[in-house]
Chains A and B, each alone.
Chain A
């Protein structure tokens, strides 16, 4: 190594090491008094912001009817083919409704395309991120699991109005 020049020669303070060690200790000490970012999950739950893309859910209006008209666009746009919609006819003003709406959560990649394409703002990404299944069948969510009252989705709907 003789004769090879260092990229940077250390000055006297750096050669001493002690000031650098003191600097490191100071940083550690500073962080000891800062608030914790680690959550004691699952005792403490993480509350995601409105922009978070959790599992997709269907919006249920206050009168108990779903907004979805079973147009099938979410199913068509889904790159992972997670969504299956079967339409049928109703006597309501909107004559079409989903008699079956299934999302296969094993296929879902949380891309949010379904939410983006939905002409009725009927399918939105929720804040729900706890998805554990014991078998393939449990991972297919039907209407009973997908329908969520509109009040519980206010955050996301507001976010969509602002940024979509």
Chain B
């Protein structure tokens, strides 16, 4: 491999790599605003200027290709002076109101102003004012004053979202960003521009002014919006999710995620209709009872039915662990009528990220065995059998079966027993005989398998009643670390819910079945032992970015 020198360090590079790319790979970060690893090179911010020996002038490292024997200085006096000058130049018209700006704390300009500038302004003239609080699209507010014209957002919508919607208008210090006439910035990926915006010019309407970034904890997770399984970070303050942001994973979602996944998938976690505790139906009404009582009633009533009279419906929204425990529980009762429902919106798909399959784990559910046994019925046959009153008891995990279609709605009354695990109230829980509160994706450990057959890990970001942030090794903000029960900023509600697999373990014990797990790791270890696709895997192996399972690609999903 050819090499060149950066700050006295020999660096290997691939032919066609720019200086900034090769240096970054080797761990030398050159300041940059307009350059982004996934976007084309624009070269307009000039902050990445470096000194290259035998070159007459400084060159921008983002568009200068590395060459054999090249000697680059990123910390020489000439470079530092140029960088400070560029910083000063960019700050000429940039408002100095970081206290008001929502980007403060994760702002590239703010960080670089501390690292690379004179530290005080020499500019005495009046700054150019531009339009503020422009509604650029349904989810984005634009602040013209703060924009430093790096063009990242323009290039993003052209190159990644493939929609030419944004452009520069005017010239010189009047230049600003707007949508094309008659256009709204409304493609499905707009909010990624708020992540890549190096300043606070583009802000997420949903998150704007809600919290400072340093007040939140962030936990690695996976988006549950579709079978892409974009890697995400869940930002939590006071046990409440405030936003999701994409996490870099070149094999799945690169740096991006869609607006729908970002805005809609976490809202149910702290919604008012969360199921908080266990419920059983008595005198026609759902009554809150203790876990112990609900488990005993469930175990007792399941015993009343022959295995042929019971059906189990799993969920592609649940983790592999939940589904595996679900299948194991059903099979140990001798039930073969096991299936799950798919949630495919045909046509709602693109070549970027969005997939037709709107569940995060349909492949995982299938792999761990959520499918009819040899003599079992599939979901359509189950519906038919309920209609004919052959199936009398239905066990539903994290799925709203009544909302599938009118047929389910009219048929469900035929059942003698309906047990449901659900995180939020829905039409199925309203008719259930026993309701167990299920933890959401943000409250449990587990794995999802995306459409590529890639198994990815989720971590708990929000604590439920049975969890403790410190003892369970969850991510903690400064507030979480030092808060007490008397602090108002620590009184976020903890829901009384459990991951579905734990509920199956508890039920198994009451029914005298052999299933005993204490941790989701143990469930996963069991999956790895029994299911060939997961062979040899454990949570460490799955890691931060997931691993590809050894299976043939399926065409659906």
Contact = CB atoms under 8 A, between A and B. Distances in A.
Do A and B actually bind?
A: yes
Interface of A: 69-73, 75-76, 81, 84, 87-89, 94-96, 102, 104, 107, 119-120, 136, 140
A119 B97 CA distance: 9
Contact of A71 (B100, B479, B489): B100
14 contacts: A70-B209, A71-B99, A71-B100, A71-B212, A72-B212, A76-B214, A76-B215, A81-B482, A87-B210, A89-B208, A89-B209, A94-B97, A95-B132, A104-B487
B134 to A, nearest CB: 13
B104 interface: yes
B133 A95 contact: yes
B114 interface: no
Contacts of A119: 98-99
Contact of A69 (B100, B482, B483, B487): B100
Contact of A76 (B132, B212, B482): B212
B100 A95 contact: yes
B552 interface: no
Given A72-B215, A76-B214, A84-B489, A94 B100 contact: yes
Interface string B471-490: 00000001100110011110
B487 A73 contact: no
Given A71-B99, A72-B215, A81-B487, A87 B479 contact: no
Given A84-B489, A88-B209, A102-B488, A96 B479 contact: no
A133 to B, nearest CB: 13
Contacts of B487: 81, 84, 104, 107
Contacts of B215: 72, 75-76
B281 to A, nearest CB: 39
A7 B132 CA distance: 83
A68 to B, nearest CB: 9
Nearest to B205: A89
Interface string B66-98: 000000000000000000000000000000011
Contacts of B489: 84
Given A81-B482, A119-B98, 20 more contacts: A71-B104, A71-B212, A72-B214, A72-B215, A76-B215, A81-B478, A81-B483, A84-B489, A87-B209, A87-B210, A87-B212, A89-B208, A89-B209, A94-B100, A95-B100, A96-B99, A102-B488, A104-B487, A104-B488, A107-B487
B209 A73 contact: no
Contacts of B98: 71, 119
A49 B209 CA distance: 38
Contacts of A75: 215
Contacts of B99: 69, 71, 73, 96, 119-120
Contacts of B214: 72, 76
A75 B489 CA distance: 12
A73 B99 CA distance: 8
B41 to A, nearest CB: 34
A140 B132 contact: no
B238 to A, nearest CB: 10
A92 B486 CA distance: 34
Nearest to A81: B482
Interface in B107-152: 132-133
A107 B479 CA distance: 13
Interface in B474-520: 478-479, 482-483, 486-489
B141 to A, nearest CB: 9
B203 to A, nearest CB: 10
Contacts of B211: 87
A69 B102 CA distance: 11
Contacts of A76: 212, 214-215
Nearest to A120: B99
B101 to A, nearest CB: 8
B209 A96 contact: yes
B132 A136 contact: no
Nearest to A122: B99
Name the 3 nearest CB pairs between A and B, nearest first. A71-B99, A72-B212, A96-B100
B483 A84 contact: no
Contacts of A96: 99-100, 102, 209
A39 B133 CA distance: 56
A129 B440 CA distance: 48
Contacts of A95: 100, 132-133
A137 to B, nearest CB: 9
Contacts of B102: 96
A44 to B, nearest CB: 35
Nearest to B132: A95
A74 B296 CA distance: 52
Interface string B21-65: 000000000000000000000000000000000000000000000
Nearest to A90: B209
B456 to A, nearest CB: 33
Contacts of A88: 209
Contacts of A107: 487
A140 B488 contact: yes
Interface string B176-217: 000000000000000000000000000000001111101100
Nearest to B210: A87
A69 to B, nearest CB: 5
Nearest to A87: B209
Interface string B237-273: 0000000000000000000000000000000000000
Contacts of A120: 99
B116 to A, nearest CB: 21
A69 B488 CA distance: 21
B96 to A, nearest CB: 10
Interface centre among B99, B211, B486, B488 (most CB of A within 10 A): B99
A124 B99 CA distance: 17
A70 B211 CA distance: 10
A71 to B, nearest CB: 3
Contacts of A104: 487-488
Contacts of B208: 89
